Structure 1
Amino acid sequence: RFYRQMLDRLAKEQRKLSRKKKGSSNWHKQRIRVANIHEKVANQRKNFLHHQSKELVANFDAVVIEDLDMKGMSQALKFGKSVADNGWGMFTSFLKYKLNEQGKRLIKIDKWFPSTKTCSSCGSVREITLSERTYQCTC
């Protein structure tokens, strides 16, 4: 959400940059202003991801995540900016190294694993219709 918050300010500064004569001293100053906004967004995102990963590592012994296709998600529908802004790869790398330092585990599950169709106690897999919201196993 950090990129979305700074989008108006960034667009304004980039418009100013486009009006400057390329190579001039004012163009260089404006280019640095635009770069500072990009850097601020990156730092905000990194800070947020560090805090979230630290909280997960402190509370859980194992973290299970789905191995998502972020490129495909960004191209589908209109999720492009939101998917690019969440920093999923950075988040998983933060989780991985923090969990390894603590001697805990990070487990990646394939995106096609039928987690909602699998019973948590006996492990049986059953097809569920879209109208069913909860899984009911016979065990």
Structure 2
Amino acid sequence: MLDINHTTAWIELLSTYEVNPKYGNPDVINQYLDQRDADPFDSQWMVAHGDLTAIIDSILVADRKEIEMLQDRASKQIYETIIGQTSHADLAAYASDDVRLIVGFLVTGRVNSFVLEMKESYERGDLPNVEESPFS
């Protein structure tokens, strides 16, 4: 059974997201993105994505469509928010991918500690921490 209400409430919370002012500097953004593309963050993200893909592949097609609609809504919202605040398309795309992953776990009711930490980062108005991952 999908957790639509909780997920929708979280997506609504994203509408108030404000990018940390330190990401107003393109050099800071590029350094952040480089760190995301390195281990341990990158490999942990990929494992979580693989886990979510397996979860979604195992559920009903109608539920998959509902998940995809929620993911699309959330990813578009965060993309537009970040591009509007930073004008940095790559940063917006990474955040959009993060939010798709978070929403997938939320709506399916599954727990992944790495994804949970990313979710909490966005709730605090920050981007996921790439410097010291407690999951490595």
Do they superpose with TM above 0.5? no
- TM-score normalized with structure 1 length: 0.28
Instruction: Give the structure with the higher percent strand.
Output: 1
- TM-score normalized with structure 2 length: 0.29
**Higher radius of gyration, 1 or 2:** 1
